[in-house]
Amino acid sequence: MSELSHVDQEGRARMVDVSAKSDTTRIAVAAGELRTTAEVVALVRADDLPKADVLSTARIAGIAGAKKTSELIPLCHQLALSSVRVEFGFTGTAIMIEATAKTKGPTGVEMEALTAVAVAGLTLHDMVKAVDPAATLTGVRLLTKEGGKRGHWERPADESAIPPSADEDLAPEDADAGPEASEYTEPELDEEPRSAVVLVASTGVAAGTREDTTGPVLADWLAGLGFSVRGPLVYADAEIEFGLADALRFEPALVISTGGTGASPTDATPEATLALLDRELPGVAEAIRQRGTAKFPLAALSRGVAGLAGRSVVVNLPGSPGGVRDGIAVLEPLLDHLLAQVAGGGSHDNG
């Protein structure tokens, strides 16, 4: 019992005294998912449920839940949160939830990130229950944490995925084959969709003072190409190195960033990207610049780079809608061939 920090030597619950600990920047990332039906996923993505604005409502609920963690979890400390971000992604029959909490103080923000995921997930359940009362919130777990004397901690890769539920292990003939059971049977997929992450470098968007006009465009485009999309993840320009590490955490096939590529003193995306690349793809970045300068001469000022971080393709795009359109036009005919080569297959003609 003495090894549990919230239990004293007599076995009584206690609040840990953190007064002797130093203040450090602390970041925690947690995740979970709401398992539901393909119909619900389509309705949420189209914002076509009776309770509309589903994701915005769940996002606000998750942020509010993080701020009230010390009121909900008896032994948690009150923290001055510097930011809470709640993001959503989709698979065929699930809504993925990810929350990032940040503070500067003497204790971590793991519980705040986990609470944000749980409250956002419960809010999603409330919003979709009229269509799917069998929706299940599952896999709420801590992914990473930073800060304090232990520094960086990351969940082992083989523990990051959400395990299948018990009924997914049953063969169809073993399950109750009543008329309603088949409604929630997940279709078998020939292969997992390729994964992509959209990353936005913008101090204004991160602070909530500017609208993100590029991240959602990229996410919708990639989803339309059949990618499983995470994000948009939004980071202030000064924290873009953390954003890139976050984006690459699960080794996605593709990471596309937008913003922070100009000549301003705060534009740091190319430098942060180059620090992580194993090999550059200079032709890709140059093609994006050339397409932009053909219409808008100032596009030549973009310093965006492209390359490989392990088996992940990373591409920087400018932070403007026009720059993103140029990037999409250049990347779309290249992606299949490029990703096949990086994965170890595909033709090497003209490669």
Q: Map tokens 């409330």 to a residue.
A: 126
- Distance, CA of 192 to CA of 334 (rounded, Å): 21
Q: Which strands, in side-by-side order, build the sheet including 195-201?
A: 228-235, 195-201, 254-258, 312-317, 306-309, 279-280
User: Which entry of 48, 126, 174, 220 is annotated as an active-site residue?
Assistant: 126
**Tokens matching residue 41:** 């996923």
Helical H segments across 129-229, by residue range: 157-160, 203-207, 215-224
Contact 157, 168 (CB under 8 A): no
**Phi and psi at residue 56, to the nearest 5°:** -65, -40
Rg (CA), the chain: 22
Q: Is 190 a catalytic residue?
A: no
74-78 contacts at long range (C-beta below 8 A, 24 or more positions apart): 74/13, 75/6, 75/13, 75/14, 75/15, 75/16, 76/111, 77/15, 77/16, 77/18, 77/107
Catalytic residue IDs: 126
